[in-house]
Chain A
Amino acid sequence: MRVFVRLFGTLAGRFPDHDPVKGIEIDLPGGAVVADLLEHLGISGDESGVVAVDGRVSAPDDPLPDQGSVNILQKMHGG
């Protein structure tokens, strides 16, 4: 399966191929879930990666949308 991933916060800088508008394309085995994507990208818990799909924050075991878009944010607080 393929997902289109856009990275925000301080995460994007780690991926030289990341385009701010298009993001990066990631291929994963079929049936991959959110935790698999974070692991594939090497985003650890300390970096507080937040995966948003269709305007909702996903759980680690939520499925990923094949050919769909995913935003990876970082946990933030309001200011």
Chain B
Amino acid sequence: MKFLRVDMKTKTVKTEDVPPAYRGLGGRGLTSILVNDEVPPGCDPLGPENRMVFAPGLLTGTALVNTSRISIGAKSPLTGGIKESNVGGTVPAALGKLGITAVVVEGQAPEGELYVLRIDARGEAALEAANECKGMRTYALVEKLLGTYGEKNGVLCIGPAGEFLMSSASIQSSDADGRPCRAAGRGGLGAVMGSKGLKALVVDLTGKSPDALADPEAFKEQAKAFAEILRKNPFTGQMMPALGTAGLVSAVNSLGAFPSYNATQGTLEGWEKVSGEALAQMIQDRGGKTSHMGCTQCILHCSNDFVDEKGGFVTSSLEYETIWSMGGMTGIVDLDAIARLDRLADDIGLDTMNTGVALAVAMDAGYRPFGDAEAALEMMEEIGRGTDMGKILGNGPAAVGKHFNHHRVPVVKNQSIAAYDPRGMQGNGVTYATSPMGADHTAGNLVGQYLGRALDPLSPEGQVEASRNAQIAMAALDCTGICLLAGTVLGNPKVLDVFLKLIAAKTGEDIDAKGWGDMGIRVLKAERAFNRNAGFTSRDDRLPEFFREEPLPPHNKTFLVPDEELDSIFDF
């Protein structure tokens, strides 16, 4: 249980015991509460006063499956509010196995200087000059870093977009095969890392000094039970390894809620060609991997290796949200083109969602035609080179909309929506509008409830309550390090009980379902407090006007949830 405090100005790293106020916290709970405590809400997100917090989940580093997950928090240059973006790969579990509760990065290196934070197998850390890495794209960078430090290391890094301080810049995480293909994409945290002069964290994967478990026997027993639950569940045990998240393309198009052509249609013409089923068939025919372990200790294997016609690796993992943003929103109904766009996003260090939507807004404004894959690839290269137009595109849909004076910009707090249209899935619209993160499907996604007929997606009734409950549950889940997909089983109270016993066996403190909800509420309160102090009001908890004005085919609905109801969501 220790914090690594990294000062980029003095190039020093100090180790401190976790202060009592932060004990028992992990992941998003730790990043958000610490950012709220230590970052001046009015500060420049790209200035020296902003701090970055890298916090593995509470259960990360233990033997529990699917817990190699890390939350990264700071004030966001995209939203201007608090941000937590989480990612898998190998670094999260490695930090947990070193007993590192958080890495807190503050200050800034002198302009033009670039550093790598190296954390060795004993958990000791130092900043090492890395000016030779300037401008490097992430695939070449990770190859170079693993060449220097050894294959048994994991990397969190930025690409050119982060160095250019673009608002869509991601932090890329290396997967189990040492490729920087997982992304903490949302909120432009790559730009914060770039502003600090930090190109990468390189973490030894062989550490063996995790925090002691309060009750190792109980933990072992419940961890085994939880893994068995995941294996037997049809979604986590069968659908995820077969199709990954891309399976949602069929489901959401079938319900007419797949925002297409910059959210002017709810069904993508020809979606069957970019569905999860088509993707799996194509990968299989070409000899790629339809199922793949992307993150340490993962048993879901939702990842894939997409290969080209000759069987050459293109990208991993091609997922639902990227197929939507780079395909649905742009009208590019071509998996090969989408895969190349995904690879470029990973390589340049960009959020595929914010970037795909930025391209779509540009197309909608007439800059390039919908469906033009070559134009999309050229726009991505412009971002990678940092041209004037590239910088506008790399700053996301709101920047593009402003440049072209185009009104249809599907963002909340400047962050793009995800692959569920608020008019076709009203509760997801509530989450987009009210989440302290800006439009973020992972903050409270109701698609499972709509498919299970628990709620009518087209009616405004009951959406605020459903979104509230989902946002509280997700805020709690994001504290633990369990991946979101594995966490879907926690909706069953008996399974939640198993999970809560795991938390108790780790921390030594009992927690019940109420305590679980309280944890989520505590996190949301800290996030709301930060945003309020940064100047946000209820007017920021709104969808763009066009969602209320322009009906979405095929259901021809607008967003119907009243503002007063939106404003009541966090009355706790």
Contacts and interface: CB of A to CB of B under 8 A. Distances in A.
B251 A50 contact: yes
Interface residues of B, number: 44
Interface residues of A, number: 24
B531 interface: no
A73 B485 contact: no
B235 A75 contact: yes
B469 interface: no
A46 B235 CA distance: 10
Interface string A23-50: 0000000000000000000000011101
B256 to A, nearest CB: 4
A10 B248 contact: no
Nearest to A72: B254
Interface string B226-259: 0000000011001100111101101100111000
A78 B448 contact: yes
A77 B485 contact: yes
Given A9-B247, A12-B277, A57 B255 contact: yes
B242 A10 contact: yes
B272 A21 contact: yes
A79 interface: yes
A52 B281 CA distance: 23
Given A8-B275, A55-B554, A73-B254, A79 B248 contact: yes
Contacts of B238: 10
Interface in B274-319: 275-278, 281, 302, 319
B445 interface: yes
B290 to A, nearest CB: 12
Nearest to A54: B554
A54 B554 CA distance: 9
Q: For chain A, what secondary structure do more than half of its interface residues adopt (helix, strand, loop), or is it mixed?
A: loop
Contact of B256 (A55, A59, A78): A55
Interface in B29-60: none
Given A77-B448, A78-B447, A78-B448, A20 B272 contact: yes
B278 A76 contact: no
A57 B266 CA distance: 15
B248 A76 contact: yes
Contacts of A9: 239, 242-243, 247, 250, 277
B278 A20 contact: yes
B364 to A, nearest CB: 23
B441 interface: yes
B488 interface: yes
B272 A73 contact: no
A46 B320 CA distance: 24
Given A21-B272, A76-B235, A77-B488, A10 B251 contact: no
Interface of A: 8-10, 12, 20-21, 46-48, 50, 52, 54-57, 59, 71, 73-79
Q: Lowest 5 A-B CB distances belong to which pairs?
A: A78-B445, A79-B245, A55-B256, A8-B250, A77-B448
13 contacts: A10-B238, A48-B234, A48-B235, A56-B255, A57-B450, A73-B451, A76-B239, A76-B447, A77-B235, A77-B448, A77-B488, A78-B448, A79-B320
